[in-house]
Structures are given as structure tokens and as C-alpha cells.
Structure 1
Amino acid sequence: MLFVGCSENSISATTKRNLRSFEKRKQAGETQLDMNKPKTIGFFSSQLNGEVILRNDKKGEGNQAPLTVHELMLETATKYPDLIALGIKKVNEWETITYIEYYELCRKAAKSLLKLDLERFHGVGILGCNSIEWLVANIASIFAGGISVGIFPQNSPQNCRFIADNSEANIFMVEDDWQLQKILKVQNHLPHLKAIVQLKGKLRKKLPHLYSWEEFLKLGVTISDEMLDRIIDSQKPNQCCMVVYTAGTTGPPKAVMISHDNITWTSAAVLQSLPYTYAPENQEILVSYLPLCLITVQIFEIWIPITIGASIFFAEPDAIKVEGSLINTLREVRPTTFFGIPEVWEEIQQKLKLDQMSATSFKKNMIVWAKKVGLKTNLNREHDCGKAIPGSNSLLRQKDEDGMGEFFIWGRHISMGYLNNEYKTKKVFDPKGWLHTGDMGILDNEGFIHITGRIEEIIITNEGERIFPVPIEDMLKNNIPIICHAMIVGNQAKFLSVLLTLKCEVNEDTGEPRSILTKEVINFCRRNNSKATKVTDITNNQDPVIDDIIQRGIDEINEQTDYDSHKILKWKVLEKDFSITGGELGPTSKMRRSHITRMYQTTIASFYI
């Protein structure tokens, strides 16, 4: 792999001065919280300019000195100035920037945001795929005293309008002309919007208050370092610096307020339970490919890397959609650690199957051996959801006779609250700072958490029994290899039913599921004497062979219970798989159960006639 652009860069006088000031405060045991004692505050807030009490433990991880995002970034940039921070592929070469270049670029962009009159605690919407520009815009927004607001690239103009209005966004950073057009469609309805910046490509048409990335970076030359530093120094760890919007699987998106301390403390705390190594001796190499508007992704692809001085390399924008794209990036970059989602592991599994089919006998034996070792290791882990993050606490409340209840958690990783939604904030946070998660499960004697499902997912039978659908749905997908999604229904009914979708090809451009079955499913059908090649060959009970396979898979699950109300007695294969574009899945590919129930209410009703 060829890396270019890794030349050494001297640390500027301003950066050295900021570091001296930061180190002086650390030695004195002073934090940004001490500089201006806040008014009386609580554990949560619903206002962007609000402050919260940090949930400090008296000792250990929960008592670490709080840091702002700038302090974290400054410390790493000056500790590892010449280490590679970010890399992106241009044509056939990987272009990289060092940590000091990363930091200085964020300051440069922050000055330009100030030039565009970004107001304190106002949003900067970032709409696009993962890139160096995305990260710089994200951090620069915080440096400049604004609120970073990541937006799913697939969001509609109407969703962008809602988010911009909700976060009072002054600036929009859009990836390209396609994303730009979304904002132009709704800009007349955005009273707080002052400017739009296009991160990549040439502007198709020059419009007022619209800038290319290159033009944007030049705007801040008249903003002094002193002016930027005054804003940076006014920031506190317990103040909001980011808003993350939920996927809206159970209603309209909610705006989750994230503080500086939420980011910096959580990154350090999570590292205590992971085998990551620290620069410079063993620099981690990671790949960024998941949507950065998700806070979990940001923790693993932005903030933990900064904390340990790791290198981040960006996959292609279509990494998840185009088969093989992500795997090609992984082969080139060879990351030391990989943060994956089920769909990615499934793609890797399919590649292994294909490799095994065409491999020599020696290689086949090696693949079989490696899979056995991996399976044994993960079977030992699969029922262990872990313990609370070091420095935080968890407990179960409202337990039933089986010891199952709702998880409540407490710690500095918990968000500040829901923006502009005091009712919802007070509903999930109690006055002592405990968050009501909505997750049901069991806490064992060793402190390990076993999550059974979400409260809103629980199915209540006509006898009042509680059934958690997710474990049953997972068994269905394991028992019937051709199934892509399974959704159990049967609320207030005498028995359960299930909606099933099949694994099928996906349109790479739109993400829409096609009617053509995947090669894996077609091969499965052939092995079982079925000629099916399309979803429509199987729907409406047209293929007795496949119907029998599905029924046998369901029967195996039904045999595990003696209660008729817990058995799946009816099922239907739908003509179309669930998708994000179709609305059945949220941006993280989680089923939107209430939406699916409304879509198929006629089908569901037919189960119980």
C-alpha cells in the first residue's frame, strides 16, 4: 500500500501556547468546569445552552478529570504530531494527513465557520458519506462553539428540514451536488440558515452564500487565533457539543444531546475493556465505513482513534452497498481492529464459502479449522452481553418472579437529554440521574447483563403472557437459511404468526430489494429440488418444497414450548424484502415494527380471522 503526503509538519506557536495553558491547568488540577461555576443544575437538560451535573464516581474510572473535545484533540496532536491520522484513497494512491495537520485543519475550518457567523450553540448540519472533510467539519463545528449535527446521507429534504429547524442550524455542510439539492429545496423554510458548503466536487452553479470546500477554507484568514481561542476556552465539558438524531423506529426522530464529557470520558472508559494498543509503539489502524451520524460509530471511528493516536482510513462511499468494495479496502489497509455489523460479517462469510468451494484441499482444511476455532470462541461469548462500562452503574427495577426487569443505568456516558423535549427527557431520566433504558433482561450474580428485548417489542398474549420476539426471530433465520427478515406478531392473540422475507438481490444504486433471489438462496433451492429463482416463485404457497422447509423450521421452534399461545401457527412470505428506502428498516437496518405493522395490517388481520 502506497501512502503519500506524510511529511513532517512543525507545531505552530498558537498550538504550543494552547498546550502550555492546558498542561498548566492539568498540573493545578483545574478543569474547564472550575473556571466559571455554573448556576444550580441537574443531571439532564433539554436546552442546547444547558449544563448538567457529571455523574462522577468517588474513585476509579468514574472520577477522571473531565476534558473538552478541544483538549482531547490538542493533547493527541501535540503528543503524536507526525503520526498518520487520516487516509483516503485518491485514484490508486492513499493520501494521508498527520495528527498536527488534522488539528490545524480543524482550527482553520473553525475560523471559517466563525467568518460565516456561526452562533454559539447553533447547529452545523453535516450531510454526506464518511470522509476527511466530514471529520474536519464535525470537529471544527465544536471548536467554533457550534453544535455538530450529523445527518444520514439517505435522509429526505423534509427530514433535513426538520433536523435543521430543530437544531437551529446556521450552516449546512453537504457532500456533493445531489445532497446540495435537498437543502436548496427547503432552504426558504430554514430561518437560521446562513450558508451552505459543498465538501466535494465543483459547484454546478454559483449561488449566494454557497461555497466549495476550497473557498470555505479561505474564508477564515481574517479571524485571529485569539478570537477562536476565546470561544474554545469558554467551552465546558458538561455543555452540549453535538446532537444525534435517533432512527425514529418508534416515532419521529428524537434529538439526543451529547456533551464534551460524554465523548471524551466514554472513549477513555470503553478502552479499558478493549485490547486496543496505543501509539506510537503500536499504532492501531482502523477503517471507517459506517454512518458517522451514529454516536456509537463516532466513538469507534473518530473519538477512540483520537484518544489512542490511531490511523483511520476511509472506505469507498458505497462500501456496504457494492459487494466486495469494503473487503477490497480491508485487504489494502489491513486494519489491526475492525468494528463490524451483522451485514458485513455475513458478506465476509459468503466470501469464505466461495473461497472454500474453489480452494485446494490444504486451503480447505485450513478454512475449516479456522472456522471451528472462531465458532468455539464465539459460542462461549454469545450469551454474555458484558458488564457496565467501568466507572458506571446498572441495576434492574420492577423485576418479575423470574428476575427479569428493566435496566436502569447511571454514568458519564449517558446523554444530557432530548433537545427541546422536556417531557420525554423527564420520562426517561429520574431526578437522581438514572436513565430508564427500556431494555428488558436479567442481571446475573457476577454483574453480567443479559438483554432479552425492548419494552416496546414485547408481545402480550390474550392470556397476559409476555413474549420477546427477537430470540424467536433469530431462531427462525438460523433454522431457515433463505430467510432475510422475520417479524413475529400476535399481540392480544391466542397464538403467534410471522411475516417472512427472503434473501434477494439489491439494486446497488437505490438500495431497493429486487425480486431475484441471491445466489446463495438459489443454490439452496437447487439442493432441495426447488426451481425457484425469484421471490414471486415462492410467495402465495407456489412452491411446496420451500413451504415444507419453512414449516419444518417453524415446527422445530414450536417444539420448544408447551403453550399454544407461544407457538407460531400461521406465516406468510412477503413479496418484497424490508429495506431502508422502503421504510421498513431504520438507518441502522433495525426493523421499524410499528411501521411494518401498519403496512401489513390487512395481512396480519387475516391470520386471526
Structure 2
Amino acid sequence: MEEIKSEKLSSSKSFTVTDPKESVKILKSVNEIFPREPLTVPEFFNKIVSDHGDHTALMYKKEGSDEWTPITYKEYKSRVEQIAKVFIKLGLERHGSVAVLANNCVEWFLSMLGAIFAGGQICGIYTTNSSEASRYILESCRANIVVVDSDEQLEKIMKIKDQLPHLKAIVKILSTNDIEGVWKWSDLEEMKVDESEEEYQSRLSQITPNSCCCIVFTSGTTGNPKGAMMSHDNIIWNTQSIITALGPFEMCREIIVTYLPLSHIAGCFIDIFLSISLAATVYFADKNALKGSIMKTLYEVKPTFFFGVPRIFEKFYEKMDKNLNKGKGLKRSLISWAQSAALNYHKEIMSGKNPFPLQYMLAKYLVLNNIKAAYGLNQIDKLGVGSAPISTEILEFFMSLDLPMFDAYGMTESTGVIFTNSTREMKLGSVGKCVAGIEARIFNPDEDGYGEIQTRGRNTFMGYMNEPEKTREIITEDLWLKSGDIGYIDNEGFLHMKGRIKELIITAGGENIPYLHIENLVKNECHAISNTFLIGDKRKFLTMLITLKTKMNSDGAPCDELAPESLSLMKELGLEYKLLSEILNSGPDPKIIEALQAAIDRANKKAISNAQKVQKFAILPNDFSLPTGELNATMKLKRNFVLNKYSEIINKFYS
């Protein structure tokens, strides 16, 4: 294992550390045609500003306004430097942390870069976290400053501030009234910082590429969250690698919408660092983006690059497919022809053929461009999905609209994406090829080639903050990063996923069951099913919880009123139910039970063994959502929460 030698790097003893004050050795990457020089975030940002200072960096709406307000890269840098000096004045120590508990906003971006420019680290906290969960993170990262955006978030901090000995300042973004012991963000932007200038310049000059600049806490769905430390080099190197993998990109052309939580690696990496690398313009979606307003923002902004989690695209699919199917006669036939032409064209391209594009071009210009424009997707060059598995049905739907989606795979600990499809190389059902410069292997494969996915490279994080044992558990002595995911790499280099090692269901008979595959099989057999949840770990047979599609309120919580897809099923069955409670209170009508059982039977026919067949099911009283607790802030299913919440129903299956 060869390390990179450079005068710019601070001395270090190891490739992993657990103290944010320490630096790491940088592993020399394999297969890099032009090895990249280690850089700090400030160096990289300053170079972009020097080259593209007058270009618009950020676009946001002021409170109560519908007009977009621009911030150029020059203004962006000036405000970052101001906030960096203010943070020093407020007590941010060198290698200290600034924590942000806020929805995506300009101040989040300024806090992140301000903390880094001041020689510290940034740490995000999910807005859905409780006071106690926030306390755990703030205590772990020894936060000197915490930035909040609302009264709700401030209240969480005020409850616990006396338990945080390292905390020196609390800052509130949306603040008009003076609150004792709390700084207003507007005061920070205007504060005189002359006395911080010398210290600021000193700290800036001491920042090295192999030091920590960012701490991303894992979601903590199976225990306390772990603080994954990223170095400047982790972020800058991986940013450049992803641009190479997904390219070509055009500087100053890309438009990105920020809406995924910035406390998650995907939001942080794409919205802040990838956007800087491309001198892109970032638009801020409103705080209700994940509750449904994102489609309105897309229509308004027309991004060129958009990354989402599967549940976002599932919602898009439901709405778009429903609208497309409203057409009748010639209009519907024309749409079907266009979708078929685009899907066939892209599939032939994927298979290595060079199809004659006449039908595809006609479909694109006569039909598909208009459909994309209706949803603000007509400028999209790159549409990405990750963080959880997505069905082939949805990938093919977007491909049929001339929106091929690159499915990608990564981890917090790998500083984001490590495998990805691209517009140049894509295979449906895979998560793409390994990013250049990163090594990948399948550890201890079975007879079918499936084993644990492990990677090694400059992208691998520094280690878990204050957790040496857990760091040793995930990074081997020879620096392979254990993913905990099972997959295999085919003879063309594409990675195919099977599931999490820890989350495979192992029945009482010892059979390994890939639950996601079975859940998707059932879900795809009935348009009224919203979510499926497979049970069977250490059980004699498989059972399933099913949710029906209902409307959502403005907070993203499920309503009692049935969604159009569920109403359509009721109509097909000759039933007049309009509410989910009506279905459940009367004891589900036998026709509904038969329809859902028929969907399960069809899915069971595709099972490779009797052990993989679903034997019983129940309809839940509400769909899964963030407000009801089944989903986390990145819309991932919290399986342990579901098992506990519905334990009574589950136990009846086996009693």
C-alpha cells in the first residue's frame, strides 16, 4: 500500500484516525491516468471563484417572496469568509465543530464552508432528530457552535444546552426578536471581524488536505449514530472522480436543486461540493420538498442534474403514469408509441448496438420533449438515483420518457458514490461500474459469485470519530472498506446488489431470504399497494404487512382518504369504499382480501423455493411516512421501528 507524499500534507502515522484533530496518510489510488494533487476545500473553492466569480452560485427565495435572489461565486466567497471570521470570534476552536440543525438554506451552505475555512469541521443534524438525539451528536462532536433555523429547532437546543460543556454560541437563522443567549444570523453577516483577521489567516494557512473537514453522522436506525470523518482530500478527490465517471459536464451550465437533507452524504456531497466543482447554480427547494412540493420546484427551475432517492421517483412515477394514461384514442396511442420507441432505442444502446435513430428522434421531438417540459425535466442531462434499491419498472418508465436514470451505489464511509451507471455505460438491474481510481472486490463469494462488496481508495473515510473499535470493524488492516452489502460483479464489471448482510431474513429452517426482492414482486402485482414489509426472520414461514395508497396531507402524513389507485381497485371490485378506515373497521371485504391474495399468489409463482413464498398478510391502518415514524429523513424504511410498532399484528401471524 503506497501513500502519497507531498509537502502540503501534515505528518501522520496511519491511514485511519478517530480523533478529528489528527491527520491521515493518503492512499495512492490505482488506475489513475493523471494522479490528482491533494487539495484543501478552501484552495479548490478559491480556484473556482477566481475562474468563475461572476457566475451565479446560489438562487434562493426570501421569506414571503416568489422571486429568486441570486448570489454570485464572488459574493459566496465573501460571505463565507465573513462567517468564518465570525465563527472564530464566537469561539470556534481550531479543529472544533459547527453543527447545523436546519432545513436546506443559504445559511447552511455558508455555515459549512465558514466552519471549514476557519479550520474547523461541519456536522449536520437531521431536523427530525429529537432533543436527546441532537444532544448525543453535539456531545460527540464537541460542537462549539450550533446553528438552527426555527423556534422548533431552537427549543430542542435550549433544553439540552446546559449538558453541552463545549458549546459557546447558539445562532438562529430565522430570527426577528432578540433572545437571550442566542445570536441572530443577520447580526453575524454584519458583525465587525477585524480582530479575527490575523487568526483567520493563520488557520487558513495551516489547513491540510489530509485533515478532517466534515463529520457525517449515520442515520442511527440500528443504534446510536456514528460520526464518519471526511478529509478535504476525500471530498475533493471523490468529487473529481464522480465528474469523470458521469461526464461530460460543462462548467457554469449545470443547474442543481438542493432538497435532500444536507446532513446526509448525498445532499452534502452533491449540493455543496459537486456544485462548486462544476461552478453550477444551486436552487433551494422549500422545506416541504420531500412532502411533495419538489415537483413544483422542478417545473420552475428546470435542472440539468437531479439526484433522488427511490421514494421520490416512485411518487413521480405514480403521478406521471397516471397523467399519461388519462389520454385516450390517438393521443394515448401516440404516447405509447413514443415511449416504446425511446425504451427500445436506449436498450439497444445499452446492449452495445448502434440503432438507426429515426423513430427515436421522431418520438423525442414530437411527443417526449413536451411531456418532459410539462414536469420541468426538459433540460435534464443526468438523472441519478441511489441510497436504496429501485425497481426495474421505474427505471424503464423514465427511460421510456427519454430520461435514462443512472442507478448508483455508495456509502457514507466511502464519501458517497463508488459504483455508478452513466449515460455512456449502463445496465438495468445493476448499480454500474466502479469509479476509476477505486479498487473493488467481492469478498468470500458463494457458488453464484455473491459475497460482501469491499472497496479501497482515496475516497475511504478517515474513521469514526471517537470509535476506534468500530473503525477497525469496518476497515481491514489492508484498508479494504467493508460495505456490509452483498453483491456480485459480472464479467463486464457491473455490480449487482442482493441486500444487506445484516438484513437478510434467515428463516427458522436456515434459508436466506432477500426481502427487498420479494417485497417488490408483491408491490408490482397490484397498483393499489403502496408499501410491503416482509417478516420471517427466525420464523417458520414468511408473512407480509401491506399498506394501501392513501392521500397525503401537507405535512406528508397519510390521510384516511383513499388515493386514486386504491379507489380504482375498489371500482374494479364493485365496492364503494372511499376511506381506509371504512375498509378496516368493517373487517376487509372478502373481495379486497382475494385481490391482494391474488397479487401475492402471482408473486409467489416467481419464488425460487417454497421458503420464499408469502403465506399470510395483513393490511395496516396507515401508509408508511416520515411523520408516522416508519421512514427516516432520507425516506429509508426503519425496519426495526416497523417491527416494534406493528408487533401485535405480526405476533398474530405466528400464534
TM over 0.5: yes
Alignment-derived partner of residue 573 in structure 2: 528
Alignment-derived partner of residue 463 in structure 2: 417
Task: Give the residue type in structure 2 aligned to 1:335.
Answer: P
- Separation in 2 of the partners of 1:497 and 1:424? 34
2:418 paired with 1:445: no
Alignment-derived partner of residue 17 in structure 1: none
Residue aligned with 2:471, SS: helix
Residue aligned with 1:110, SS: helix
1:430, CA displacement in angstroms? 0.6
1:582, CA displacement in angstroms? 3.1
Alignment-derived partner of residue 190 in structure 2: 218
Structure 1 counterpart of 2:264, from 294, 297, 301: 294
CA RMSD of aligned residues (A): 2.2
2:107 paired with 1:133: yes
Residues 299, 373 of structure 1: alpha-carbon distance in 2 compared, 3 angstrom cutoff = farther
2:395 paired with 1:349: no
Give runs of aligned pairs for residues 302-313 of structure 1, distance below 5 A. 302-313=272-283
Comparing 537-546 with 468-477, which one deviates more in the overlay?
Answer: 537-546
Comparing 533-542 with 226-235, which one deviates more in the overlay?
Answer: 533-542
Task: Give the residue type in structure 1 aligned to 2:60.
Answer: I
Alignment-derived partner of residue 411 in structure 2: none
2:516 paired with 1:548: no
The answer on whether the counterparts of 1:33 and 1:236 sit within 8 Å (CA) in structure 2 is no
Alignment-derived partner of residue 259 in structure 1: 231
- Separation in 1 of the partners of 2:294 and 2:484? 34
2:588 paired with 1:588: no
Deviations 1:237-287 (A, max 9, x none): 11111111111122221111111111111111011121352224xx11111
Structure 1 counterpart of 2:167, from 183, 193, 208: 193
Alignment-derived partner of residue 401 in structure 1: 447
The answer on whether the counterparts of 1:88 and 1:132 sit within 8 Å (CA) in structure 2 is yes
Residue aligned with 1:273, SS: helix
2:151 paired with 1:169: no
Residues 563, 92 of structure 1: alpha-carbon distance in 2 compared, 3 angstrom cutoff = closer
Alignment-derived partner of residue 372 in structure 2: none
Task: Give the residue type in structure 1 aligned to 2:89.
Answer: K
Task: Give the residue type in structure 1 aligned to 2:7.
Answer: D
1:428, CA displacement in angstroms? 0.8
- Separation in 1 of the partners of 2:338 and 2:130? 44
Task: Give the residue type in structure 1 aligned to 2:523.
Answer: K
Residue aligned with 1:196, SS: strand
1:77, CA displacement in angstroms? 0.5
Comparing 348-357 with 295-304, which one deviates more in the overlay?
Answer: 348-357
Task: Give the residue type in structure 2 aligned to 1:593.
Answer: R
1:39, CA displacement in angstroms? 3.7
- Separation in 2 of the partners of 1:451 and 1:239? 33
Structure 2 counterpart of 1:65, from 19, 32, 37: 37
1:361, CA displacement in angstroms? 6.1
Give runs of aligned pairs for residues 381-400 of structure 1, distance below 5 A. 381-400=427-446
Comparing 391-400 with 491-500, which one deviates more in the overlay?
Answer: 491-500
The answer on whether the counterparts of 2:9 and 2:209 sit within 8 Å (CA) in structure 1 is no
- Separation in 2 of the partners of 1:75 and 1:533? 59
Task: Give the residue type in structure 2 aligned to 1:502.
Answer: L
Residue aligned with 2:434, SS: coil
- Separation in 2 of the partners of 1:570 and 1:182? 42
1:392, CA displacement in angstroms? 0.1
- Separation in 1 of the partners of 2:609 and 2:251? 57
Alignment-derived partner of residue 605 in structure 1: 651
Q: Which runs of 5+ in 1 are unaligned?
A: 1-30
The answer on whether the counterparts of 2:438 and 2:456 sit within 8 Å (CA) in structure 1 is yes
Residue aligned with 2:193, SS: helix
Residues 570, 83 of structure 1: alpha-carbon distance in 2 compared, 3 angstrom cutoff = same
1:368, CA displacement in angstroms? 3.1
- Separation in 1 of the partners of 2:261 and 2:34? 29
1:427, CA displacement in angstroms? 0.6
- Separation in 1 of the partners of 2:554 and 2:6? 49
- Separation in 1 of the partners of 2:72 and 2:449? 52
Deviations 1:182-223 (A, max 9, x none): 2112111111111111112413x4212x11111112335224
Deviations 1:30-61 (A, max 9, x none): x99524641422x2221111222222225516
Residue aligned with 2:124, SS: strand
2:216 paired with 1:244: yes
Deviations 1:546-589 (A, max 9, x none): 21111111111211236322211111111122223333222222
Comparing 416-425 with 352-361, which one deviates more in the overlay?
Answer: 352-361
Alignment-derived partner of residue 249 in structure 2: 277
Alignment-derived partner of residue 18 in structure 1: none
Comparing 355-364 with 83-92, which one deviates more in the overlay?
Answer: 355-364
- Separation in 2 of the partners of 1:230 and 1:597? 53
Deviations 1:516-563 (A, max 9, x none): 222332233223323222223334851222211111111112112363
The answer on whether the counterparts of 1:249 and 1:591 sit within 8 Å (CA) in structure 2 is no
Residues 480, 119 of structure 1: alpha-carbon distance in 2 compared, 3 angstrom cutoff = same
Residues 48, 477 of structure 1: alpha-carbon distance in 2 compared, 3 angstrom cutoff = same
Comparing 223-232 with 151-160, which one deviates more in the overlay?
Answer: 223-232
Residue aligned with 2:577, SS: coil
Residues 374, 137 of structure 1: alpha-carbon distance in 2 compared, 3 angstrom cutoff = farther
2:84 paired with 1:38: no
The answer on whether the counterparts of 1:61 and 1:269 sit within 8 Å (CA) in structure 2 is no
Deviations 1:8-47 (A, max 9, x none): xxxxxxxxxxxxxxxxxxxxxxx99524641422x22211
Residues 423, 484 of structure 1: alpha-carbon distance in 2 compared, 3 angstrom cutoff = same
Give runs of aligned pairs for residues 458-473 of structure 1, distance below 5 A. 458-473=504-519
2:179 paired with 1:206: yes
- Separation in 1 of the partners of 2:78 and 2:333? 51
Fraction of identical pairs, as percent: 35
- Separation in 1 of the partners of 2:431 and 2:60? 34
- Separation in 2 of the partners of 1:287 and 1:469? 33
Alignment-derived partner of residue 603 in structure 2: 557
Residues 573, 33 of structure 1: alpha-carbon distance in 2 compared, 3 angstrom cutoff = farther
> What is the total number of aligned residue pairs between the two structures?
571
Structure 1 counterpart of 2:49, from 77, 97, 112: 77
Residues 61, 254 of structure 1: alpha-carbon distance in 2 compared, 3 angstrom cutoff = farther
Residues 171, 411 of structure 1: alpha-carbon distance in 2 compared, 3 angstrom cutoff = same
Deviations 1:56-103 (A, max 9, x none): 225516831111111111010111010011001231321101111111
Comparing 493-502 with 537-546, which one deviates more in the overlay?
Answer: 537-546
2:583 paired with 1:538: yes
Residues 575, 358 of structure 1: alpha-carbon distance in 2 compared, 3 angstrom cutoff = closer
Residue aligned with 1:320, SS: helix
Task: Give the residue type in structure 1 aligned to 2:19.
Answer: Q
The answer on whether the counterparts of 1:171 and 1:195 sit within 8 Å (CA) in structure 2 is yes
Task: Give the residue type in structure 2 aligned to 1:608.
Answer: Y
Q: Which runs of 5+ in 2 are unaligned?
A: 347-394, 397-425
Residue aligned with 2:304, SS: coil
2:63 paired with 1:87: no
The answer on whether the counterparts of 1:496 and 1:568 sit within 8 Å (CA) in structure 2 is yes
The answer on whether the counterparts of 1:55 and 1:433 sit within 8 Å (CA) in structure 2 is no
Alignment-derived partner of residue 5 in structure 1: none
- Separation in 2 of the partners of 1:425 and 1:393? 19
Residues 171, 394 of structure 1: alpha-carbon distance in 2 compared, 3 angstrom cutoff = same
- Separation in 1 of the partners of 2:494 and 2:608? 29
Structure 1 counterpart of 2:153, from 147, 156, 179: 179
- Separation in 2 of the partners of 1:32 and 1:241? 20
1:404, CA displacement in angstroms? 1.1
The answer on whether the counterparts of 1:396 and 1:406 sit within 8 Å (CA) in structure 2 is yes
Comparing 538-547 with 156-165, which one deviates more in the overlay?
Answer: 538-547
Residue aligned with 2:483, SS: strand
Comparing 173-182 with 76-85, which one deviates more in the overlay?
Answer: 173-182
Comparing 360-369 with 475-484, which one deviates more in the overlay?
Answer: 360-369
Residues 238, 257 of structure 1: alpha-carbon distance in 2 compared, 3 angstrom cutoff = same
